[in-house]
Structure 1
């Protein structure tokens, strides 16, 4: 009965989230449903001591990243930097390569730390105009934005400040540059494969006489006035470079030469520098980059206080949605029947923890419709076991980190994913018109890239 309760709870979570019910309500209710069906377990104690404790622990660890990332994205958008970067990339690659221009523009911004939601709003007006001029079917636009925003820059390329690349750090004692060669390879597979797919789809559509089409304007069609004073490219790109450069400097130069023995003290968590340095590096990099972006574009902000306040408030719902999913996962992991699921996952590939890890993260990311949520649930429940298995078999913790991050960006983009639903709303498209291409570039190709990394990593390459 306990196993049935878990399956029913997970099924309802996926279905009701797809129907638009907020996970802040769903997660605790469905977690308690699973507890009730398990029988004999204290519901209120599980809620306050397991669900809420796990939710709070996640917020404590990752809130600065969500907060600073949202503020940075809002500053880049309101100051015009995001638009300048996008327009420059369009200029470089040519207006006739609309798909590649949109993918690269989104990739540069998200790799620089701008939230994918902010990127979607900032890029859409330019991308829409570019698709219209090039007469590329608009139904391909959501997939182009998805490819550039939540695939290779979210999970693959080393150094990305995306939350999905930061969550594995405490579990494996790594940093955001983990497994750089295999991460870069996976990113190139996603970028190249996705762009090739969309380009061929566009060519086939044009061969049938299908062009941009007739579409109504959406509320996101105009993010900034056409005659707005835009910053120069150097001023726009410097904050993005600062995020990446400072992150690398702190990770490889500053922190390794710093004495942090005080971290062994209980009041500082009785931890080690290697377990927190990755988070520290991202926090410091984002703070400096926010200040830099504000300073370089100060005169272009209508109201700096309003920009910062909106960025701050924009971070709250995403982190609490994800933290609620983490709390839900902690409850499920505490149930006796979860042992059957854990043993099944670990037993799928008993001699290859990389493959077991990939399956666990992908399945949970797909069920929750969240890359960060599914990854957090998997690591919370099985992270120690996977790390121990990796050590026993001589697998690099950096490789474990990269496979974990890559796996979170596969099944997460199923139709009920919040980012997918938001992207379709911004572009005025529907699942029926655009989701098949989103599935290929954001699910199928990333899963193939993950499998490639697992195979090469298992061979010691």
Structure 2
């Protein structure tokens, strides 16, 4: 009965979330259904287990959500994101329109700009370039997704994406875990995606199909942001509430390209210096004191690196663009507010997973996952894949998997001599594959902003965001098994 309750609660969560119901309501209801079938005390699981898991996620990751959303909003309102996109678009031109869109998306998201802020800037850029190059507009969502939602989210070492931060407390790793494998995975995703999009463009040209077609009218940022369904799904998929995109005031004049790029470079550089040069040499033994709770330097240093990098980038951006932020307080308020609903939504998914992991029937699930053929790396990849697919959230699925099985995987890593950094990279790439199913908030938002539909554009998104990522994941598992982490 306990296993039936878990499956029923999960099915209800998926079905109603897909129909637009808020996960803030659905997750505790689904958790209580699972507890009810297991014969467990309901109120205790709600106030102690569910809220304990959600609060633990908030305590660990809210600073990253907060600073990431603020940085993204300031980059948008200062005109820096638009400046970066315009510089890359003008440099490559319509002749290389697909590559320009991909690289622009990769640059801003690897530099720490929120996925959804990037969508609203890249879509108009892509429309202009694709129209001038006469490339089918149905390929725009796939090109934007390749640059923003694949290798810069899960593979490139040092990415400040929250998905890359989540495994750090569990495995004691840094944002630069397994850098060589991450670069290989990123290259596979990028090259496969560009190959697929180039193939699709060439096929369309042979058939005489140009920019036009049956696509609908693209939604303006304020329309997409105010769409209730888009907002609800989007806030479980990333760290920015789309409703805040239209608030604040954008600069009427764009900064020069160098000034626009600099905060992005600061994020990467400071993250690297903190992770590899500063924190490893600091005396953090005081963290063993009771007043800091049950933690260790390995559990917090990775998160501290990302926090300091984002703070440094925000200060750099403000110093360079003070006069380009006409309503600074409103922009700051919007950025801070944009972090709240996403972090609570993902924390609620984590609370559901915490309840499920606490039920006796979960031992059956644990035994099945750990019994998957291929060893711990394969079972870790499968578990994060499945949970990210079911929740429609890479961060939510990844955290649920690690909350339930992270300690077990660490034990297996110690017994089998597997570097935790390899576990980290496999887990992150695994969560960034099947999360891009049709109900994913990023998919829904991107299609709406581009004026497309699942029927017209989703197959190409599957190829660049799912198939390419799965190929990269398989390659990393094979290389990691043969050569270890590097």
1:359 is displaced (CA, Å) by: 0.6
Cα displacement string for residues 188-226 of structure 1 (whole angstroms, at most 9, x for unaligned residues): 100110111112112212222221115424213999999
Q: Could you tell me which residue of structure 2 aligns to residue 180 of structure 1?
A: 179
SS in 1 for 2:30: helix
Q: Could you tell me which residue of structure 2 aligns to residue 58 of structure 1?
A: 57
Q: Could you tell me which residue of structure 2 aligns to residue 32 of structure 1?
A: 32
Give me the whole-angstrom Cα distance separating, in 1, the residues matched to 2:52 and 2:387. Answer: 20
Contact persistence 1:14–1:416 (CA under 8 A): no
Q: Could you tell me which residue of structure 2 aligns to residue 365 of structure 1?
A: 388
Q: How does 1:163-174 map to 2 (within 5 A)?
A: 163-174=162-173
Which one of the candidate residues 355, 370, 377 is aligned to 1:354?
A: 377
Give me the whole-angstrom Cα distance separating, in 2, the residues matched to 1:205 and 1:12. Answer: 41
Give me the whole-angstrom Cα distance separating, in 2, the residues matched to 1:150 and 1:281. Answer: 22
**Greater shift in the superposed pair: 149-158 or 135-144:** 135-144
Q: How does 1:294-309 map to 2 (within 5 A)?
A: 294-309=318-333
SS in 2 for 1:96: helix
Q: Could you tell me which residue of structure 2 aligns to residue 219 of structure 1?
A: 220
Which one of the candidate residues 292, 298, 302 is aligned to 2:316?
A: 292
Q: Could you tell me which residue of structure 2 aligns to residue 452 of structure 1?
A: 475
Q: How does 1:131-170 map to 2 (within 5 A)?
A: 131-170=130-169
* Equivalent residue pairs, number: 459
Give me the whole-angstrom Cα distance separating, in 2, the residues matched to 1:138 and 1:16. Answer: 32
Give me the whole-angstrom Cα distance separating, in 2, the residues matched to 1:450 and 1:160. Answer: 17
TM-score of the aligned structures, taking structure 2 as reference length:
0.92
Give me the whole-angstrom Cα distance separating, in 2, the residues matched to 1:285 and 1:314. Answer: 19
Cα displacement string for residues 34-75 of structure 1 (whole angstroms, at most 9, x for unaligned residues): 11222x211111001100111011011100000100010011
1:431 is displaced (CA, Å) by: 1.1
Contact persistence 1:18–1:415 (CA under 8 A): no
Contact persistence 1:125–1:221 (CA under 8 A): no
Which one of the candidate residues 323, 338, 362 is aligned to 1:314?
A: 338
Indicate yes or no: 2:433 matched with 1:407: no
Q: How does 1:122-133 map to 2 (within 5 A)?
A: 122-133=121-132
Contact persistence 2:72–2:113 (CA under 8 A): yes
Q: How does 1:432-451 map to 2 (within 5 A)?
A: 432-451=455-474
Contact persistence 1:51–1:331 (CA under 8 A): yes
Q: How does 1:9-408 map to 2 (within 5 A)?
A: 9-38=9-38, 40-213=39-212, 215-220=216-221, 228-349=252-373, 352-408=375-431
Give me the whole-angstrom Cα distance separating, in 1, the residues matched to 2:294 and 2:136. Answer: 56
* Change in 2 beyond 3 A, CA 1:226/1:383: closer
Give me the whole-angstrom Cα distance separating, in 2, the residues matched to 1:368 and 1:313. Answer: 23
Give me the whole-angstrom Cα distance separating, in 2, the residues matched to 1:100 and 1:221. Answer: 27
**Greater shift in the superposed pair: 156-165 or 328-337:** 328-337
Contact persistence 1:13–1:367 (CA under 8 A): no
SS in 1 for 2:221: coil
Contact persistence 2:77–2:251 (CA under 8 A): no
Cα displacement string for residues 53-102 of structure 1 (whole angstroms, at most 9, x for unaligned residues): 11011011100000100010011111011111111112232321111111
1:227 is displaced (CA, Å) by: 10
Q: CA RMSD in A?
A: 1.7
Structure 1 residues not aligned, in runs of 5+:
none
Cα displacement string for residues 379-413 of structure 1 (whole angstroms, at most 9, x for unaligned residues): 00000001110111111111011001110101111
SS in 1 for 2:94: coil
Give me the whole-angstrom Cα distance separating, in 2, the residues matched to 1:187 and 1:308. Answer: 33
* Change in 2 beyond 3 A, CA 1:52/1:99: same
SS in 2 for 1:66: helix
Structure 2 residues not aligned, in runs of 5+:
224-244
TM-score of the aligned structures, taking structure 1 as reference length:
0.96
Give me the whole-angstrom Cα distance separating, in 1, the residues matched to 2:211 and 2:480. Answer: 43
Give me the whole-angstrom Cα distance separating, in 1, the residues matched to 2:165 and 2:196. Answer: 29
SS in 2 for 1:128: helix
